[in-house]
Amino acid sequence: MTELTIDLSDVPLTPFGAREEQKLEAALIVGTLYSPEVVELLKDPVEKTTWLESLAVAAAAFAKYKAGKPVSKIAEEVGRSEQTVRAHIQGKTKAGKLVISTYEKLKSGTLKLVVPFSGELQITGVKEGSEKEKEELARKATELEKKVSELQGEVERLRKELDACRESNNKLTSLIELVRSKLQQLEELKQALSQV
């Protein structure tokens, strides 16, 4: 069995737009789920569902908060009261504290997720003598692995496009500042000429 390292270095800490917000939310959920404290909590089947829901709400609220959304809007989007949202983003709930801790690790670059991975999909629970079913499941598993590979390529392509867009945006911002500066100089020149 090998280990799969999940790279979270490109997760936006101050998300801009829905996609980046979702990326931060997902990183907070996954990062928190793999913390030793939560792994222990999730062993209790009674608490498991409640914890997963609370964790998901806390992560969503915190990601939206980091995106600069007001508490009233966050409450509307996550379907909880403003009081509950505030409690999560201020770390007054256990789920909120854990999510904030995960965020701080993400921010400092100390959050490392290493997941055990066998490198192959195990097909279990199929009755003996149903070779056809096993073959069908194996075929589907191969298709899914191919799809994952394609999606990883697409994510990389989109990441490059985003980097190019950010670079273009920076150039445009610089150009706008230059134009504003020139317009200011032109206005000052016009005022000076009008006084002559």
- Predicted model pTM: 0.54
What stretch of H or E contains 13?
none
Q: Is the pLDDT of residue 24 over 50?
A: yes
Measured torsion, CA atoms of residues 29, 31, 36, 40, in degrees rounded to the nearest 10:
20
Domain ranges of the chain: 1-119, 125-196
Mean model confidence pLDDT for the chain: 78
Q: What's 113's DSSP letter?
A: E
Cβ 111 vs Cβ 51: under 8 Å: no
Q: What confidence tens digit (pLDDT) does each residue in 158-168 have? A: 777 777 777 77
Beta bridge partners of 5: 114
Q: What confidence tens digit (pLDDT) does each residue in 138-156 have? A: 787 788 787 777 777 777 7
Q: What confidence tens digit (pLDDT) does each residue in 44-70 have? A: 776 676 777 888 888 899 889 999 999
Cβ 7 vs Cβ 18: under 8 Å: no
